Structure 1
């Protein structure tokens, strides 16, 4: 077993930028192939999806649903150890107000994302 830690920030920012902000389906699929294990699982608040194609479809649907200027932005560097990484993020229209905040929590296996939990913060009052 290797004691080398993966680059949590690179992987989780890559997921945010190259998967969940990528509107081109082919580029998104290539990024997923690079960042995720062969059979990843993503846990959303109301859904569990399995497989690279399903994760790509969810990312594409989110971008389509929220419009052409919607973007996810990291809210600091990702941190992690022993195969578990966390990246806080915020999202909303580019240049506009933040619509939602949350965190991605990832279990990494062999330097790739195996399981991803999308945690949404409660809305501000």
Structure 2
């Protein structure tokens, strides 16, 4: 790695895009705001790969994110760990999740394929407990 290595290439701000996805999609409890964020951050026909599920389309990604928040309770949040990195259209952001002021319940990373400045494919990778 060279000194002064840039975090973004190809005019993609991976950190902004992946942190926006975490905050505005996966931490957003308001359905309308979440749907608007998905429309802004994802391509028209995105695919999200979860460990046990493949989710297709903006509306389904929004629905799954909302159900996840409902399942984990009203104070659950995902928090980024460090800065997202990426190049050549592929970015990664590590994160942890749990109740506010509570113990960490899950850790993992989002890996995104970015096309035209938007997420086209998203892999949700969970760390072993």
Aligning the two structures, in what range does the TM-score lie when normalised by the shorter sequence? over 0.9
C-alpha deviation, 1:4, in angstroms: 2.9
Retained in 2: the 8 A contact 1:102–1:121?
yes
Count the aligned residue pairs.
121
Report what 1:118 is aligned to: 124
Contact kept? 2:29, 2:66, Cα under 8 Å: yes
Tell whether 2:42 aligns with 1:36.
Answer: yes
TM-score by length of 1: 0.95
Note if contact 1:5-1:81 (Cα within 8 Å) is conserved in structure 2: no
Q: Distance in 2 between the 1:49 and 1:118 partners?
A: 11
Question: Among 13, 28, 37, which residue is 2:19 paired with?
Answer: 13
Are positions 1:61 and 2:62 aligned together?
no
User: What is the distance in 2 between the residues matched to 1:35 and 1:117?
Assistant: 15
**1:90 correspondence with 2:96:** yes
TM-score (norm 2): 0.92
**Contact 2:10 2:88 survives alignment (8 Å):** no
> Which aligned runs of 4 or more in structure 1 are off by greater than 3 angstroms?
none
Instruction: Look up the match of 1:46.
Output: 52
**CA–CA distance in structure 2, aligned partners of residues 52 and 33 of structure 1:** 7
Aligned-CA RMSD value: 0.8
Structure 2: 5+ residue runs without aligned partners?
Answer: 1-8
1:102: which partner in 2?
108
